């Protein structure tokens, strides 16, 4: 018997701006699409942690677009729901934007309110209209790929092909959320002719570092065909934006496999009108790629610098305008407060000096019977203390034509009473900028539209503060023209080329932590890392992030003047395996050299990774190995997490787990446990004993040897010493005989000398007599000498070998004498086997 599931509950709270369908209804959503132009839908599962995580962000975005874009959530997991039967989702949640009767545009960005709002605004306004040549030039230089269409709106309110181009713009946003091909339109034939567009419904693809292409007239003019054509011909971005989705993908590996990469982690404020840090990095990249010293790329850098500066200035003005608007509202609709005795509003004469249009200065003068106002009560605008003798009339005349401000005065040194005066310049359109301040808006529709637009901008600024997004006021003010000529065109002058990428440091700081463990990460400060996969190296920008330092960072890498950054993890526990009664030293890169370079110690190091399944299975064998050599004083067992610690080149391994053995007094002769031999406990013991010092082998043998075993070995060693000495004496006597034989051969006269001596002192003899008495010839003597020399060398080697074996046996005998484990009777048997006693057998009998 199967218990039916409980009825679903609302996923979003009552009163939320999100329209929730917990039973998975689809028909109401379909009917809603007929009424609404755009719907942002979330397909969720109520048990899904990711859905719960995104829920708050989705609600924030819905509240931001309230009365403009409908946000809908559907429970697509409910078994009896229409959504579950209609759609087969492989993961939750899924986010789509539906526009009129088109198929949904999938949201693939980071699921936060800021990214959702940015994507929705791009869908709402996918096209930009260009009116002048300067706007075209600025638009082309701002983006890597730009698609501009010419449509004649004088002939028709919706020219032929415009709808297809509009849909194409939204399709391009769906394909690449972070770096889409930007689209714009021009309506003036003279501008179109400058771009080579002579017919309406003509398209041109402008590529920043490549040639410009015109969409073929004989191609079908559908959104699918246009999108496919753009996909085939667009260029790679100058600076690639990487945004891994949070599950297993090849986004990062694909970028790194293309070659050495500069990963710049930057704070990104999606609600800001201009991507400040991205364009700062892009300016350096344009210089780096400017191989032909292109004037257009130089102009693109100059435009980018001016745009970045203008974006900060615009943000400052917008902040002031929204702040003044809020203060103005609070002044006009200030509720009475219990701590004010009385307030009066004063209006000065009309003025045009400050605002540039008809305006009034409205001031509010209040008397407070209270101590000095607290910080919470004061306005965040400038508070100016004035002399107590200054009268209200003087203050009004002084503030009539100045920016909004508030004044505090204390009267007659009365600490329980103070007065405030707050003034605000009020104009017909108080939020208009300087360029449009003289324009009078007479059309109610335009006036309402302007008001809504300004309210949205102020709401945007407020949301930036609530979301703790990086404020443009905190951006690094760097508007220099770089000043490093070496980086211009460097991409074409060296084989050590780099690809530049950016990532959102707030959402992808984990990659920076893994690449550079221990790096002090600040989500409001950029950081740069060069990843060289071929050489398995990372390089970190240690200086303050700015354009000049980033360019110098690239130059230093190209000229091989950077030092490789070696990661060192944090030490959680100095000992591993304490529960098993042993101490395996936990090591990091900073302590690795200190441990392995102890000259009087044998060191065995295990290189492992926490994600390695074989390492987890090998851990108990390593602990048992350490327990086997527990009493060894000169053997150190250690391990190091190679996933978070970089080792010098000579210790780089290709697989985990790996064992490295560093013998005492011979650290340069380190060895690796062979991969072809199974990692069993007997094999591990043999490996350690084979490469360890003689003392360690003795300690191990003595520890596993019983009392009778030690007694027997002492007798055997003593007899072996005597045997070796006897054999050494035999070889010594043989060596003396060989040396005597060699001396006699060296004194043998040559045949020519003997014949000369015979011709002078003896009569001639027969040939037979000469054959018997003639000395040997030179070749025979040389042959005999060679044989004697060979024999001498062999005997000397044997003597040396005997002496070494005697020395080793004496060392072993001395060790056995010092071993306190075995006793027999009243006296220790060690004294019977003293190395100084030559006649071992006689002493043993006694």
Per residue, what are the HEC states of 171-221?
Answer: HHHHHCCCCCCEEEEECCHHHHHHCCCCCCCEEEEEECCCCCEECCCCCCC
Find out whether 553 and 541 touch, Cβ atoms under 8 Å: yes
Structure confidence at residue 127 (pLDDT): 94
Measuring CA to CA, which residue among 447, 449, 435, 442 is closest to residue 355? 435
Q: Using CA atoms, how far apart are residues 681 and 700, in angstroms rounded to an integer?
A: 15
Structure confidence at residue 514 (pLDDT): 82
Share of the chain above pLDDT 90, in %: 33
Q: Classify residue 580 by its DSSP letter.
A: G
Question: What does the angle CA 394 – CA 399 – CA 400 come to, to the nearest 5 degrees?
Answer: 100
Cα–Cα distances in Å, from 1 out to 8, 64, 113, 255, 782?
A: 21, 47, 44, 53, 106
Is residue 69 helix, strand or coil? coil
Q: What CATH topology corresponds to 238-328+465-565?
A: Glutaredoxin (3.40.30)
Structure confidence at residue 776 (pLDDT): 57
Find out whether 72 and 78 touch, Cβ atoms under 8 Å: no
The burial class, CB within 10 Å (0-12 / 13-18 / 19+), for 351 is: middle
3-class secondary structure for 421-480?
EEEEEEECCCCCCCCCCCCCCCCHHHHHHHHHHHHHHHHHHHHHHHCCCCCHHHCCCCCC
Element (H, E) at 406: strand 405-409
Measuring CA to CA, which residue among 433, 454, 190 is closest to residue 322? 454
The CATH label, of 3.30.870.10, 3.40.30.10, 3.30.2420.10, 3.90.660.10, for the domain at 585-693 is 3.40.30.10
Find out whether 316 and 433 touch, Cβ atoms under 8 Å: no
Cis peptide before 93 (omega within 30 of 0): yes
- Which is it for the CA torsion 656, 662, 668, 670, positive or negative? negative
Structure confidence at residue 399 (pLDDT): 43
Structure confidence at residue 743 (pLDDT): 86
Q: Using CA atoms, how far apart are residues 568 and 587, in angstroms rounded to an integer?
A: 9
- Residues in the chain predicted with pLDDT less than 50, given as ranges, are 328, 330-340, 349-358, 371-405, 410-413, 427-440, 753-773, 820-846
Structure tokens at 282: 């892009």
CATH number, span 126-235 = 3.40.30.10
Find out whether 423 and 362 touch, Cβ atoms under 8 Å: yes
**Count of CB atoms situated within 10 Å of the CB of 105:** 24
Measuring CA to CA, which residue among 359, 402, 403, 408 is closest to residue 383? 408
- The separation between CA 334 and the C-alpha centre of its own chain, rounded to angstroms, equals 51
What phi and psi, each to the nearest 5 degrees, are found at residue 449? -65, -45
pTM reported for the whole predicted model: 0.65
Measuring CA to CA, which residue among 604, 609, 594 is closest to residue 644? 609
Architecture of domain 19-117: 3-Layer(aba) Sandwich (3.40)
Structure confidence at residue 347 (pLDDT): 56
Find out whether 641 and 609 touch, Cβ atoms under 8 Å: yes
What is the per-residue DSSP string for 359-404?
EEEEEEEEEE-SSSPPTTTS-SS-EEE--TT--HHHHHHHHTTS--
Structure tokens at 133: 């040549």
Q: Give Dmax over CA atoms of the chain in angstroms.
A: 162
Q: Using CA atoms, how far apart are residues 48 and 59, in angstroms rounded to an integer?
A: 17
Structure confidence at residue 286 (pLDDT): 93
Find out whether 409 and 388 touch, Cβ atoms under 8 Å: yes
Find out whether 427 and 355 touch, Cβ atoms under 8 Å: yes
746-752 — which CB contacts under 8 Å span 24+ positions? 746/785, 748/775, 748/776, 748/781, 749/775, 750/775, 750/778, 750/781, 751/775, 751/776, 751/777, 751/778
Q: Classify residue 531 by its DSSP letter.
A: E
């Amino acid at each position: 018997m199967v218990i039916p599931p409980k009825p679903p509950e609302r996923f979003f709270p009552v009163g939320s701006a999100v329209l929730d369908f917990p039973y998975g209804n689809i028909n109401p959503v379909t009917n809603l699409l007929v009424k609404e132009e755009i719907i942002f839908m979330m397909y969720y599962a109520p048990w899904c942690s990711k859905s719960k995580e995104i829920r708050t962000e989705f609600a924030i975005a819905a509240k931001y677009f309230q009365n403009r874009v409908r946000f809908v959530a559907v429970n697509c997991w409910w078994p009896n729901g229409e959504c579950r039967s209609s759609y087969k989702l492989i993961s939750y949640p899924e986010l789509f934007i539906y526009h009129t009767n088109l198929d949904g545009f999938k949201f693939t960005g980071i699921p936060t309110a800021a990214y959702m709002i940015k994507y929705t605004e791009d869908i709402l306004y996918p096209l930009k209209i260009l009116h002048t040549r300067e706007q075209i030039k600025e638009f082309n230089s701002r983006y890597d790929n730009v698609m501009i269409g010419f449509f004649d709106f004088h002939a028709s309110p919706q020219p032929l092909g415009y709808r297809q181009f509009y849909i194409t713009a939204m399709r391009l946003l769906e394909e690449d959320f972070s770096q889409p091909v930007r689209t714009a339109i021009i309506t003036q034939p003279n501008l179109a002719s400058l771009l080579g567009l002579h017919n309406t419904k003509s398209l041109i693809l402008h590529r920043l570092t490549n040639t410009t292409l015109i969409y073929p007239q004989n191609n079908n003019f559908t959104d699918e065909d246009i999108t496919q054509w753009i996909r085939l011909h667009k260029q790679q971005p100058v600076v690639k934006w990487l945004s891994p989705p949070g599950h297993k993908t090849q986004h990062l590996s694909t970028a790194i496999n293309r070659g050495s990469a500069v990963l710049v982690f930057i704070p990104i404020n999606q609600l800001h009108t201009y991507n400040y840090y991205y364009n700062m990095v892009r300016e350096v990249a344009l210089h780096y790629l400017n191989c032909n010293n292109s004037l257009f790329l130089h102009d693109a850098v100059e435009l980018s610098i001016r745009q970045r500066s203008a974006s900060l200035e615009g943000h400052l003005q917008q902040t002031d305008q929204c702040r003044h608007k809020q203060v103005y509202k609070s002044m006009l609709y200030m509720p009475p407060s219990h701590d004010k005795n009385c307030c009066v509003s004063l209006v000065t004469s009309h003025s045009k000096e400050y605002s540039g249009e008809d305006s009034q200065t409205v001031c509010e003068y209040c008397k407070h019977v209270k101590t000095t106002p607290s910080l919470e009560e004061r306005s965040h605008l400038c508070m100016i203390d004035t002399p107590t003798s200054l009268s209200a009339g003087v203050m009004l005349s002084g503030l009539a034509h100045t920016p909004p401000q508030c004044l505090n005065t204390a009267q007659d040194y009365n600490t329980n009473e103070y007065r405030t005066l707050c003034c605000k310049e009020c104009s017909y359109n108080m939020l208009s900028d300087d360029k449009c301040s003289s324009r009078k808006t007479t059309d109610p529709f335009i006036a309402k539209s302007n008001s809504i637009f300004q309210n949205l901008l102020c709401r945007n600024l407020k949301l930036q503060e609530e979301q703790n997004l990086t404020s443009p006021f905190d951006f690094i003010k760097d508007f220099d023209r770089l000043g490093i000529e070496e980086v211009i065109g460097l991409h074409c002058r060296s084989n050590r080329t780099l690809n530049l990428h950016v990532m959102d440091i707030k959402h992808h700081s984990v990659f920076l932590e893994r690449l550079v463990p221990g790096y002090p990460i600040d989500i409001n400060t950029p950081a740069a890392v060069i990843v060289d996969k071929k050489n398995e190296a990372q390089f970190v920008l240690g200086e303050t992030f700015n354009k000049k330092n980033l360019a110098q960072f690239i130059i230093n890498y190209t000229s091989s003047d950077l030092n490789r950054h070696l990661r060192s993890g944090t030490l959680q526990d100095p000992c591993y395996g304490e529960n098993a009664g042993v101490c395996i030293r936990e090591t990091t890169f900073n302590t690795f050299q200190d441990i392995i370079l102890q000259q009087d110690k044998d060191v065995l190091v295990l290189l492992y990774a926490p994600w390695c399944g074989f390492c987890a299975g090998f851990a108990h064998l390593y602990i048992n190995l350490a327990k086997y050599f527990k009493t060894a004083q000169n053997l150190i067992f250690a391990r190091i997490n190679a996933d978070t610690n970089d080792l010098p080149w000579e210790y780089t391994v290709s697989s985990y787990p790996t064992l490295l053995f560093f013998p005492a007094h011979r650290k340069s002769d380190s060895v690796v446990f062979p991969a072809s031999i199974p990692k069993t406990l007997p094999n591990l013991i043999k490996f350690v004993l084979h490469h360890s010092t003689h003392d360690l082998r003795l300690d191990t043998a003595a520890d596993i040897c019983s009392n009778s075993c030690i007694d027997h070995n002492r007798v055997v060693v003593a007899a072996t010493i005597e045997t070796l000495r006897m054999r050494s004496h035999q070889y010594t006597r043989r060596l003396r005989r060989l040396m005597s034989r060699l001396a006699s051969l060296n004194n043998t006269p040559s045949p020519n000398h003997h014949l000369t001596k015979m011709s002078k002192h003896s009569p001639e003899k027969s040939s037979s007599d000469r054959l018997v008495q003639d000395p040997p010839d030179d070749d025979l003597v040389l042959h005999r000498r060679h044989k004697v020399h060979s024999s001498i060398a062999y005997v000397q080697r044997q003597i040396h070998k005997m002496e070494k074996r005697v020395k080793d046996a004496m060392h072993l005998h001395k060790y056995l004498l010092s071993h306190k484990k075995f006793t027999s009777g009243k006296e220790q048997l060690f004294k019977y086997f003293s190395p100084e006693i030559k006649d071992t057998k006689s002493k043993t009998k006694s």
